[in-house]
Structure 1
Amino acid sequence: MRFRWVWLFVIMLLLAGCQPSYWVLEKDRIDEGSPDLEIYTNYLQMHDDVKGYQVFTISEGKKMVVVSLGSREKDKKLEVSSVKFSPKETIVTVKRKPAPNANEKNPYILIGLDKIEGDFIVQDESGDRFKETDDQQ
């Protein structure tokens, strides 16, 4: 009987390890990403009207998505609500939260993804989509 439970546990671990995942990179660790990340986030603070997302390739082919709100929402911060992966699309949903002690001209979040498959969508909880920015830093 114990042998069955051990196998069940091993199978569960293997299945959990096969799922793509995401993480949020703390802003004070941005130098662990790629040099382009730091340049782009500095650019966002100088050009506070930029709202949308930009995708960067970081180590081992993983992706980092920078989502920014623009200066109109400088009293907000972003959190990840959900990330859904399927062969047809990857959907990142973020939510806005009040940030009474905000010190950014253009609030942003750094979301790491193991991979992006199919169409890539960044949206808020009400389904409004963010556009990919074409701003060059």
Structure 2
Amino acid sequence: MRFRWVWLFVIMLLLAGCQPSYWVLEKDRIGEGSPDLEIYANYLQIHDDVKGYQVFTISEGKKMVVVSLGSSENDKKLEVSDEFSPKETIVTVTRKPAPKANEKNPYILIGLDKIEGDLIAQDESGDRFEETDYQQ
């Protein structure tokens, strides 16, 4: 009987370790992350040529990575592929057709529990996004 409890505990630990350490914040909840996020999202729609990523610190020291495509791809939306490496933090986004182009500059809000090593934001082809020159 004791062996079953130990086995159950080990399985629970393994499952907890398999949980992704990221989440995608819905755009209609952007105000919950940080006031800076909402300001930056508005900045992206005014400066629709900005393509790249920007990192923000949100509650409890967690990070929010905002990846934007620029106006040349305003008919796209972004989704996250869960490809992460233990030596560096790799955020891979995938371009998908948007049902309607409702943003001048499409972006995605990716929350991270922490950033390990270097942060790499890339697309599904492995092309890397550069950090934007936005001053917070």
How far 1:136 moved relative to its partner? 3.0
* Contact 1:91–1:120 (CA under 8 A) maintained in structure 2: yes
Q: Secondary structure at the match of 1:50?
A: coil
* Contact 1:20–1:114 (CA under 8 A) maintained in structure 2: no
Q: Aligned pair count?
A: 136
- Partner of residue 38, structure 1: 38
Identity of aligned residues (%): 90
- Partner of residue 27, structure 1: 27
Name the TM-score, length of structure 2 as normaliser.
0.89
Measured in 1, the distance between the counterparts of 2:104 and 2:15 equals: 42
Name the TM-score, length of structure 1 as normaliser.
0.88
How far 1:19 moved relative to its partner? 5.7
Per-residue CA deviation, residues 77-136 of structure 1 (Å, 9 max, x unaligned), is 000012x44452010100000013121000000000000010110001110000000123
Measured in 2, the distance between the counterparts of 1:48 and 1:57 equals: 23
Runs of 4+ in 1 over 3 A off after TM superposition: 17-20, 84-87
How far 1:74 moved relative to its partner? 0.2
Give the number of the structure whose residues are more often strand, by fraction.
Answer: 1
Per-residue CA deviation, residues 41-88 of structure 1 (Å, 9 max, x unaligned), is 000000000000000000000000000000000000000012x44452
